[in-house]
Amino acid sequence: MNWIDFTILGVIGISALISLVRGFVKEALSLVIWFGAFFIASQYYSRLAVYFTNIQDDMVRNGAAVGALFVATLVVGAVVNYTIGQLVQKTGLSGTDRVLGIVFGTLRGVLIVAAVLFFMDAFTSLSNSDWWRQSQLIPEFSRLIAPFFEHLKETSSFLSGVV
């Protein structure tokens, strides 16, 4: 094992530890909140932007509306997440919540590493490096990445003319 293998294990381990501390419910809800904030900001910014009459430039006005909706959704989501986290603790499910959190964090870490390795391989020449070729874990991730990319090539309209 070389330094990249230890880095991969470190990223996965840190992700698992964070989820152990926070628990599954908080981690999963945080993910939903971030996606929700992105969705709300991207879908409803135009309805809020009309109230920003002091901002003359349309792009800046829309950007301010997107930012305001995104941050507001995250703040409301944080309050909801805290409240639900307190309920989980009071019901005595915190042990189960933390064990499931480890599983969630490990899977999240694996997906983060897979995405980073995919982009490093696709957009840099680092895959020709000795440390890349000598890695024991990178080939395992290629088994995860390759089927996903094949699925994307078959189903994505974005890649039809590129690949």
Residue-wise pLDDT tens digits, 18-44: 999 999 999 999 999 999 999 999 999
Q: Retrieve residue 69's tokens.
A: 């909706």
CA-CA distance, 118 to 93, in Å (whole number)?
Answer: 37
pLDDT of residue 158: 62
Tell me what the mean pLDDT of segment 115-136 comes to.
92
The model's pTM: 0.73
pLDDT of residue 145: 86
User: How many C-beta atoms lie closer than 10 Å to residue 20's C-beta?
Assistant: 20
Give 156's Cβ-side CA count (13 Å radius).
Answer: 11
| Cβ burial, residue 28 (10 Å; 0-12/13-18/19+) | middle
Residue-wise pLDDT tens digits, 68-123: 999 999 999 999 999 998 998 888 888 899 999 999 999 999 999 999 998 898 88
